[in-house]
Amino acid sequence: MPGHLEPPPHHHDKMMQTPMLSCPLKATNEIDWIAPLKQYIRTTYGDDPERYADECAALNRLRQDMRGAGKDSAAGRDLLYRYYGQLELLDLRFPVDENHIKISFTWFDAFTHKPTAQYSLAYEKASIIFNISAVLSCHAAHQDRNQETNLKVAYHSFQASAGMFTYINENFLHAPSTDLSRDTVKTLIAIMLAQGQEVFLEKQIADGKKVGLMAKLASQAAYLYTQALEGVQDNVVKAIFERVWLLVVQFKTHYMTSLAHYYQALADDDANSHGIAISRLEIAMTLAREAAKVANSFPSSIPATSNLAGDTGSILANMAKTHLSACDEKLQQFNKDNDFIYHQTTPPEAALPAIPKLPAAKPIPVSELYQGQDIHRIVGPDIFQKIVPMAVTESASMYDEEKAKLVRAESERVEIANDEMAASLDYLKLPNSLNILKGGLDQDMAVDSDFRNWCQDFVGHAPFAEAFEQLNSSKSSIHGILDQCQKSLDMEESVCEKMRNKYGAEWTQQPSSRLTSTLRSDIRNYRGAVEEASMSDVQLYSTFRQHESDMEEMRSAGETDEADVLYQRAMIKVGAARKTGVKSPAAEGNLIDDIDDDDKASVAEQIAAVEDLLKKLTLIKREREKVLKDLKEKVHNDDISSVLILNKKAMSQENQLFKTELEKFRPHQQRLLQAQHKQHSLMKELTRTYSDLLSDKRVRQEQNKYEAFSRQRSTVMTKYKKVHQALLDLQAGLERAKNFYSEMKDTVDSLYKNVEGFVGNRKAEGSQLLNQIESGKTASGTGVMANTVNLMVRWVNSRTCFPMVTYLRPLLLVPRRTSSKYMVNSLNKVMVSSNSSRDKQTLGLASVLGNSFGLIGTGRAWYGKRMRVGAA
């Protein structure tokens, strides 16, 4: 066989592990999270910041720990990502920028080490993401890829690093430092993807895969290194990257392109394209020489900041030398075979078809960084989960309303399904109608549990007659008080009007009718209310008399525990008992026992089928209730506050978010819907099966008996249900009446006190007015007498008659307030003296003066007497 069909040399069976580039980390200064966060909590959330002292300290500690994260360990990666995750959660509650929470974040460029300070939290997050990418690249570059597990770790980490760098370019548009610029990050992405592709190629070579596949993989790796080469050259020129990075990328570009031509030459030779294979091997050798030239130009001293080992140059030179030897060996073999066997022409390089590319590495998104690991375990719980922004609270309330709508809709669906089932079974008279078919009529003669409970309600109940007597007594008492109030007001008004008639205008007391209108209106209203209550009492008493005997029977049955006796007696009374010559269902046996053997199994099977369907319907209802209960509990316990916080910046899409979150309840809704469909199917089957059962002539006969029995039973239950309801109505009505009369008694008692107080005040007022009238008349009489005396003084002074001088002058000169008794005595003396002396003028003057005295009460009798004496 020709030599080209033999396996490739050993160094290609297990590709030599090439040095890999890794990105250096950014350094940062220490900052203080605690004071600014506490201040914001106090001023914005209005809460006590000391309640969150532990949370603030935890965040501060996370950043301190992040600064010491290892550059090539999974623990360092997790520590960085934990801090980054908490920053994402923090950003949803605290605006960290120049205008709100002002913290200066200082980071040093990963390549130039120049410091850059900003107040933006986005800068802090971008720097953290950069360091995560750098740690991932370091972790991948330091793996011993001769072990399959480590090789897989390197392959994943390079892609994850590219994914994190991609995240920076997609989300942080304005780079404040060189290492975060789009061009630099784009170059780093290309390097990481090229190295990931290279690691995958190593695995395929180690596994001895087909040479055509390896050619495609090497071609893609060469393409990626070529893309990275231009960016690396620019950054080396700008003194950003170390020059050794350019040498590595140049070497990898030549080496991977040479490797692609090498494996494609092997594939072409297998495909009998021997001339093309020779041409590709010549190209591979040329590229291998270029790679060796680059490797040999490596400096003897490599900068530590390049993250490359000191023997990188020698390793690359050995790789180029070994690969060049393999290419030369294959070229000699292919030329020899072509010269002696195939005689194919060797086409120029420009005429060769391009080698297809097969991408095997792609950026891994941030969400897939941990490959199914518990990212919540890595990030940990939300440090400030106790703080919920107002916007999130409002959105949570709206979501709660959406959940309530869902629960109401499902509850209504379950209720409708239950009602439909109950209505259908009631229409079919199931399951009770099956009892007659199984000999259950005698069992139905037993007392109904409701009936027994009704009888028990009558036990120990006080007689209603005493209650009605008490009501009548209360009513009479109220009427008596109202009558007394009416009588007192009438009497007071009568006295007032009599005094007005006696004294006329001098009686100025206000008429009673105006003052007593409210009291009399209250009396009328209360009397009307009592009359209306009396009508209700009459109705209650009528109800009592209507059901008195039945109530007594039920009370007696309840007290003696003979409710079953009363029930059966009532059933017999309405005709449930068999008449003479008619056998009972028990005597006849039941339908199943009475039919022929051939038919017995058929009827029994139909009854069993109906019962089985009823059981299935019961199970469906029970399952439906359970599912609804579970749904309500799940809805009640569902809290998406954390989800809303995470989506706070996309609140415009909250309706879509609500729909997505409500999908978690979809399984319960589907189960309820399925139960409803299954119920409809079973009800149709039950209706058909039961109709077939009832189509039998003997079944119809027994069914008619059962229906007659059911009507009789319904009659009894209806009657005693009314009696029991009458009991409840009487109890409630009497209680209401008792409370009414008790309240009315208090009310009329208060009215009586008001009436008595009013009448007493009016009496006192009238008595005072009467005294004022009497006193006024006395003062008026004294004034008239004084005027008369003043007119006569001058005349008296001119008289020299002894009686007049002796008795009349002192009388005329007495003080105006001299008592009436004194004045009367003086007049008596004047009159006696005048009469004896026959002094007609003095007697006339005394008469005039006496007439003046007649205007007052004490002088009137004297005047009359003396006038009679004078006339005589």
CA–CA gap between residue 443 and residue 827 (Å, rounded): 121
| Residue 471 lies inside a defined structural domain of this protein | yes
Q: Please indicate, yes or no, whether residues 493 and 606 belong to a single structural domain of this protein.
A: no
> What spatial distance separates the first Cα and last Cα of the chain, rounded to whole Å?
199
CA–CA gap between residue 36 and residue 587 (Å, rounded): 95
- How many domains in the chain? 4
Residue, of 791 and 10, whose pLDDT is higher = 791
**Mean pLDDT of the 740-746 span:** 89
| pLDDT at residue 317 in the model | 92
| Residue 30 lies inside a defined structural domain of this protein | yes
- Three-state DSSP class for residue 105: strand
- pLDDT level of residue 368 (50, 70, 90 thresholds): confident
DSSP-based helix, strand, coil % in the chain, nearest 5: 75, 0, 20
| pLDDT at residue 517 in the model | 86
| Residue 784 lies inside a defined structural domain of this protein | no
Where is 776: in which H helix or E strand?
A: helix 697-797
| Residue 812 lies inside a defined structural domain of this protein | yes
| Residue 768 lies inside a defined structural domain of this protein | no
Q: Please indicate, yes or no, whether residues 590 and 574 belong to a single structural domain of this protein.
A: no
Q: Taking Cα atoms as reference points, which of 24, 19, 27, 67 lies closest to residue 240?
A: 24
| pLDDT at residue 4 in the model | 33
| pLDDT at residue 793 in the model | 53
Q: What percent of the chain has pLDDT above 70?
A: 80
Say whether pLDDT at 798 is over 70.
no
- pLDDT level of residue 790 (50, 70, 90 thresholds): low
Looking at mean pLDDT, say which of 78-87, 693-702, 805-814 comes out highest. Answer: 78-87
Say whether pLDDT at 371 is over 70.
no
Q: Taking Cα atoms as reference points, which of 121, 117, 125 lies closest to residue 97?
A: 121
Please name the amino acid found at residue 621.
K
Say which residue the tokens 């229906």 belong to. Answer: 707
Return the CATH number at 514.
1.20.140.50
Q: Please indicate, yes or no, whether residues 600 and 547 belong to a single structural domain of this protein.
A: no
Q: Please indicate, yes or no, whether residues 670 and 701 belong to a single structural domain of this protein.
A: yes
| pLDDT at residue 841 in the model | 57
Q: Please indicate, yes or no, whether residues 803 and 820 belong to a single structural domain of this protein.
A: yes
CB contact set of 400 (below 8 Å; sequence gap of 6+):
none
Q: Please indicate, yes or no, whether residues 285 and 323 belong to a single structural domain of this protein.
A: yes
Q: Exposed, middle or buried: residue 628 (CB in 10 Å: 0-12, 13-18, 19+)?
A: buried
CA–CA gap between residue 100 and residue 94 (Å, rounded): 8
- pLDDT level of residue 864 (50, 70, 90 thresholds): very low
* 606-622 pLDDT, tens digit each: 788 888 999 999 999 99
| Residue 681 lies inside a defined structural domain of this protein | yes
CA–CA gap between residue 21 and residue 24 (Å, rounded): 10
| pLDDT at residue 343 in the model | 82
| Residue 392 lies inside a defined structural domain of this protein | no
| pLDDT at residue 815 in the model | 45
Say which residue the tokens 């005693």 belong to. Answer: 720
What six digits make up the tokens of 540? Answer: 């209650």
**Mean pLDDT of the 171-181 span:** 88
Q: What percent of the chain has pLDDT above 90?
A: 36
Q: Please indicate, yes or no, whether residues 685 and 559 belong to a single structural domain of this protein.
A: no
Say whether pLDDT at 737 is over 50.
yes
**Mean pLDDT of the 821-828 span:** 59
Please name the amino acid found at residue 373.
Q
Could you give phi then psi for residue 512, rounded to 5 degrees?
-70, -30
| Among 366-375, 478-487, 587-596, 842-851, the least confident range | 587-596
Q: Please indicate, yes or no, whether residues 200 and 217 belong to a single structural domain of this protein.
A: yes
Q: Please indicate, yes or no, whether residues 554 and 633 belong to a single structural domain of this protein.
A: no
- pLDDT level of residue 703 (50, 70, 90 thresholds): low
Q: Please indicate, yes or no, whether residues 547 and 560 belong to a single structural domain of this protein.
A: yes
What is the DSSP-derived secondary structure letter of residue 366?
G
| pLDDT at residue 673 in the model | 92
Cα 208 from chain centre: 63
Say whether pLDDT at 96 is over 60.
yes
| Among 129-138, 642-651, 697-706, the least confident range | 642-651
Say whether pLDDT at 819 is over 60.
no
Could you give phi then psi for residue 96, rounded to 5 degrees?
-95, 105
CA–CA gap between residue 666 and residue 207 (Å, rounded): 47
| Residue 215 lies inside a defined structural domain of this protein | yes
Q: Please indicate, yes or no, whether residues 609 and 677 belong to a single structural domain of this protein.
A: yes
Q: Please indicate, yes or no, whether residues 663 and 758 belong to a single structural domain of this protein.
A: no
| pLDDT at residue 610 in the model | 87
What six digits make up the tokens of 96? Answer: 């960290």
Residue, of 62 and 385, whose pLDDT is higher = 62
Return the CATH number at 136.
1.25.40.280
Tell me the residue range of the domain where 570 lies.
449-581+727-763
- The edge-to-edge listing of strands for the beta sheet with 105-108 is 27-28, 105-108, 115-118
Do residues 451 and 553 make contact, with C-beta atoms less than 8 angstroms apart? no
